Amino acid sequence: MSFASKLIDWYSEYGRDLPWRNTHNPYIIWLSEIILQQTRVEQGMPYFYRFLEHYPTVTKFAEAPEEDILRLWQGLGYYSRARNMHKAAKRVQDDFAGYFPTSYADVITLPGVGEYTAAAIASFSVNEPKAVVDGNVYRVLSRYFGIAEAINSTNGKKQFAALAQELLDKDRPGIYNQAIMDFGAIQCKPKNPYCETCIFRLDCVAYALDRVAELPIKLKGKKSKNRYFHYFIVREQGKMLMAKREEGDVWANLYEFPSIETAQEVAVDQLQDQPEFQHYFENGLMLTPVGSVVKHVLSHQNIHARFYVVESAADIKTTKNNWDYFLLEKIDKLAKHKLIFSFLERNEYLTNPDF
DNA sequence: AAACCGGGGAT
DNA sequence: ATCCCAGGTTT
């Protein structure tokens, strides 16, 4: 029996019953695939239901304000996915008359859709024979064939893509693609895979050579950098000062408290000596630290955040910045990043008008 | 080719 | 502390 047939048989017995698998609707499949990029199924699941409920069609998605979409996305990370989804939905509305495309060639032209997602949508919706190559596929193939080529090198990616396409079951591409990903997620896991009960136990090169734990091989990336953020909580007449982040850095377009960044850790009593601080604030503000340093770890940077309550709001140069006062109820509606809304959740008194 | 872009869970 | 998750875009 072929590699593909064994995999599909395994899938029919052990595969997961996931909500986006009970449809051929390319819009619903697209929704699930974008959400699941670099995201665990369990983490993405509630967001999938949330988006489908708010936007049952791509037309509804296209008509929504970006603010609403970002707010629904709040906490999921990689926020460019949400911004790209909105652009993609508008393109479907304009260039495809509101009918979500299903061909690989059409779908890959949409922002936020790369080779993996285009193959997933085309194969799941209309069985176009395009092999998906995601983290699961790299792992299964590198182990089964004993391929030591790095999965994040240009050469390695090309090799694995060609091999995946060759192995694809051309008569059942949709089910095959789901099968190999589920197999990687459930059986051929990154750590402690279930080799003893594996259907490929006798064929797997890595298992025969006792090299399962070493594969796949991945080149190490750059180390994370440390950044030091100082957030200022400014309340004035039932409103709070908020700032929208610019593009070109983390958390683009998301709201947070006004802040400055310093190159190093700075003591509270020296903060007002920083040039950045003096650029935005008058000297002599009364700063009351709230809590201690919050470490927020991202994939490529460690953020050390401090929060200060500013007692006298009058002297702040808000007109020179993109800072605005928002009613406390309105702040709840703003799309914020995790560091900010988890702070607000921990300090509900800050948003309580009765405070 | 390498850097950038989040947040969370498993080990 | 490290890895990795149904990756994609920009430089």
Q: What is the pLDDT of residues A160-173, one digit of tens each?
A: 999 999 999 999 99
Q: A225-236 and A301-310: which strand pairing? A: parallel
- List the domain range (segments joined by +) for residue A231: 225-350
What pLDDT does A349 receive? 67
CA-nearest of A5, A7, A33 to A187 is A7
Pair A162, A56 in one domain? yes
Average pLDDT over residues A65-79: 97
Pair A62, A93 in one domain? yes
* Structure-token match 């024979």, residue found: A129
Q: Known catalytic residue: A33? A: yes
Asked whether residue A300, judged by its CB, lies under 7 Å from any atom of the DNA or RNA strand B, the reply is yes
- Report yes or no on A329 lying in a domain: yes
pLDDT at A217 over 70: yes
Please give the structure tokens belonging to residue A135.
Answer: 């983290």
Select from A214, A235, A256 the last residue of a domain.
Answer: A214
* Residues at the strand C interface (Cβ < 7 Å): A 16, 18, 20-21, 32-33, 36-41, 78, 80, 84, 111-118, 120, 134-136, 138-139, 178, 181-182, 184-185, 190, 216, 218, 220, 248, 299
Backbone angles phi, psi at A226, to 5 degrees: -95, 135
| Contact status, residue A125 vs residue A38, Cβ threshold 8 Å | no
What pLDDT does A282 receive? 76
Select from A193, A214, A235 the last residue of a domain.
Answer: A214
Select from A186, A214, A242 the last residue of a domain.
Answer: A214
> Which of residues 120-159 of A have CB within 7 Å of strand B?
153-155
Distance A314 CA to B8 C1' (A): 40
Give the separation between CA A25 and CA A68, rounded to whole angstroms: 23
Identify the active-site residue in A33, A53, A261, A345.
A33
Mean pLDDT over each residue of chain A, to the nearest integer: 94
A69 class by beta-carbon count within 10 Å (0-12 exposed, 13-18 middle, 19+ buried)? buried
How many structural domains compose chain A?
Answer: 2
Higher pLDDT, A71 or A223: A71
Asked whether residue A294, judged by its CB, lies under 7 Å from any atom of the DNA or RNA strand B, the reply is no
Pair A45, A168 in one domain? yes
A89 in the Ramachandran plot: left (φ > 0), alpha (ψ -120 to 50) or beta? alpha
Pair A344, A257 in one domain? yes
What pLDDT does A190 receive? 97
pLDDT at A355 over 60: no
Pair A7, A81 in one domain? yes
> Which of residues 203-222 of A have CB within 7 Å of strand B?
219, 221-222
Pair A136, A193 in one domain? yes
Pair A136, A112 in one domain? yes
Pair A312, A261 in one domain? yes
* CATH number of the domain that residue A22 is part of: 1.10.340.30
